[in-house]
Amino acid sequence: MKLEKFFRYSLAIGITGAVINLILFATNIYYNLVIPIFEKSMDDGPAFTFIDDLTFYTPLIFMALFLAYLIAGQVYLKIHREKKEDEATEKLIDKNAGIQKALDDKAEFLKHKYYTNCPKCGAVREENTSVCSFCGTSLLIEMKKRQ
């Protein structure tokens, strides 16, 4: 559930972040704002070269991260959506199986004729029952007796 909230707006955030970082890289705005700070505080050398390159490519790195977030989010949301649909389908299938069984039982019940009173104890047959609720005797009228 937490990942669903995390990835909910991945498409909008991913595209926006990637576009902003592409603009920052293409116009060198970020580089021109940050590198003067390091030029004043550091001497030329391997450390400055590393920071210079890192500063130059930072928008591209972030753009790649935003695109990765976008792709991961969309894949996760698709899998999550399919899982929820499968669960809903399973519940519906189970519910329909229960309904079908009840209908089959009712159809089987209606195929036969039953005594209105128990032949053994005389109790009145309750609605939709095939055995006496008092003594347990079958209330089914057998084929030979019906003819």
Query: How do the domains of the chain map onto residue ranges?
Result: 2-111, 112-147
pTM: 0.60
Q: Is the confidence at residue 144, as pLDDT, over 80?
A: no
**DSSP per residue over the chain, as a string?**
-HHHHHHTTHHHHHHHHHHHHHHHHHHTHHHHHHHHHHHHH--SSHHHHHHHHHHHHHHHHHHHHHHHHHHHHHHHHHHHHHHHHHHHHHHHHHHHHHHHHHHHHHHHHHTS-B-SB-TTT-PBPPTT-SB-TTT--B-BPPHHHH-
Q: Note the pLDDT tens digit of each residue in 66-82.
A: 999 999 999 999 999 99
* Averaged confidence pLDDT in the chain: 89
Answer whether residue 147 shows pLDDT above 50: no
